[in-house]
Chain A
């Protein structure tokens, strides 16, 4: 029991430390995925298949990619010349300590309420599904609305920028090829091709 747990933990913690300490941002992001993966392994070690695979699917498959994309799109992939620690590291430390304290407190509070048995409670994917769709349906829906709001916001931000750019450049003349930026409603076939009516 012990050895595997410690190995996986070392894996996860090592990844997390590397994510904080590495100079190259992309390396840091990749190290973060190692931490995510270690966490998923820990879930699997607890026989929580659903949580473990969801962790990989969401964090390794999506969040890590998102982080990497953000780094590349903001030109942050260059290695900083001065150290990796920002000037406000003290405040950051305080905030993370605070968050950790809150989480630790919550876990400690919850610990006594768990049934004190050595075996892991067997929770199948079915049970999780039923719980999500019955007892926790409201939180689920709220999260869903929140997540839907995020892409909508992103779309609005992106569209605003585009419209501003177009105003600056002036309306596209009849000679210039039309881009699909003007209309985004339901056209998935080529728009930039100039076609002739015959």
Chain B
């Protein structure tokens, strides 16, 4: 029974394909999976937008949207209908072709990332040998669409937003890659399915997730920071900082094209969260051996929602960084820590089993964290701010 529930989607797909002739089965199977992915994530996106608005509202001691439907749960529908029926405005001086292509490329590349994410046991679209590389290749292509959007709008806010976004994404992509490379070093594979399987064993009922090692924990923190920056989420949302850039690179987009950007942003968050839970949190694995009877896909999407919750929590807490702070943080803190973490992971690998490697690796990482932090905070007395000209 548990087994069947776990594999329900796989079984369902095979049952559907059974009605088709042999030669059709592979292409139709791919189409079914793709349609599922393309249908599922926008639905999750809709749920997340309302949860986010309500969550941030609660954080600010407000109620959040509560007018459309019971408890406001139909809010995303209202938003969707609104954006669908809005006029699609293309500025006269805009580069129409590039302006049109940018949101499409963004959404396409963002959705491509899901092709290699295992969403449950045997639930992966393509089990690619170079899955992680594919994911990052697709992630890197989104930068281009952001640039296209900003440049083609012929608007200085758009262009500034795009330049900021691209600079930020390139800087943090380095950190994102380096923090993921640690996992590749330990598992010896770029395939995400194999990475999940490498974490798929329990001792004393507790899982062997990579986050429960010193290097894994450090890499997870770096990954979370870089992933937040990569998806232009608060506190790294200065490419679309409304107080200075209207809406950044999608200032000149309206109607459905804007909705596509919005969708792309959220789906990218899902994608980053999914990869993060695959790499560090055991993907579709249960957190305790005793809970393995719950289907694997529930665990995957549960982890997805928990990380979305953390995204929302962080958004409700932290103010936006300034551009120089952002860059300094990327190059002077995250990158050195990532490089050090590579070294620590190698050390862990070659020290063999035993408690010693725990102590040594943790000590190195904590020491580095504290000293880099000290160095960064040096000469800074944080007190009440004094204003020279505005009193």
Interface residues of A, Cβ cutoff 8 Å to B: 26-27, 30, 33, 40, 49-50, 53-54, 56-57, 60-62, 64-65, 68-69, 72, 124-126, 175, 180, 185-198
Task: Check if B383 sits within 8 Å of A195, measured CB to CB.
Answer: yes
- Docked complex: B304-340 residues within 8 A CB-CB of A: 322, 324-325, 328-329, 332-333
Residues of B within 8 A of A50 (CB): 130, 133
Q: Does B173 belong to the interface (CB within 8 Å)?
A: yes
Most B CB contacts (10 A, CB to CB) among A57, A192, A195 go to: A57
Cα-based distance from A53 to B129 in the complex (angstroms): 11
Residues of A within 8 A of B133 (CB): 49-50, 53-54, 57, 125
Shortest C-beta distance, B165 to chain A (Å), equals: 11
Shortest C-beta distance, B301 to chain A (Å), equals: 27
Cα-based distance from A171 to B380 in the complex (angstroms): 21
Q: Which of A56, A191, A192, A197 contacts B140 (CB 8 A)?
A: A56
Q: Is the interface of B mostly helix, strand, loop or mixed?
A: helix
The interface stretch among B2-10, B144-152, B259-267, B272-280 is B144-152
Task: Check if A30 sits within 8 Å of B148, measured CB to CB.
Answer: yes
Residues of A within 8 A of B379 (CB): 187
The interface stretch among B283-291, B292-300, B347-355, B369-377 is B369-377
Q: Is the interface of A mostly helix, strand, loop or mixed?
A: helix
Residues of A within 8 A of B325 (CB): 188-190
Task: Check if A194 sits within 8 Å of B173, measured CB to CB.
Answer: no
Task: Check if B144 sits within 8 Å of A194, measured CB to CB.
Answer: no
Residues of A within 8 A of B141 (CB): 56, 60-61
Q: Does B240 belong to the interface (CB within 8 Å)?
A: no
Cα-based distance from A62 to B166 in the complex (angstroms): 10
Task: Check if B130 sits within 8 Å of A186, measured CB to CB.
Answer: no
Shortest C-beta distance, B308 to chain A (Å), equals: 25
Task: Check if B148 sits within 8 Å of A61, measured CB to CB.
Answer: no
Residues of A within 8 A of B385 (CB): 193-196
Residues of A within 8 A of B189 (CB): 125-126
Q: Does B67 belong to the interface (CB within 8 Å)?
A: no
Q: Which of B98, B129, B173, B378 contacts A187 (CB 8 A)?
A: B378
Q: Does B42 belong to the interface (CB within 8 Å)?
A: no
Task: Check if A180 sits within 8 Å of B98, measured CB to CB.
Answer: no
Task: Check if A195 sits within 8 Å of B386, measured CB to CB.
Answer: yes
* 23 residue pairs bridging A and B, Cβ less than 8 Å apart: A27-B98, A49-B134, A50-B133, A53-B134, A53-B136, A56-B138, A56-B141, A57-B137, A60-B137, A60-B144, A61-B136, A61-B140, A62-B140, A65-B144, A69-B166, A126-B189, A186-B372, A186-B378, A187-B328, A187-B380, A188-B376, A193-B385, A198-B384
Q: Does B61 belong to the interface (CB within 8 Å)?
A: no
Task: Check if A186 sits within 8 Å of B383, measured CB to CB.
Answer: no
Residues of B within 8 A of A64 (CB): 144
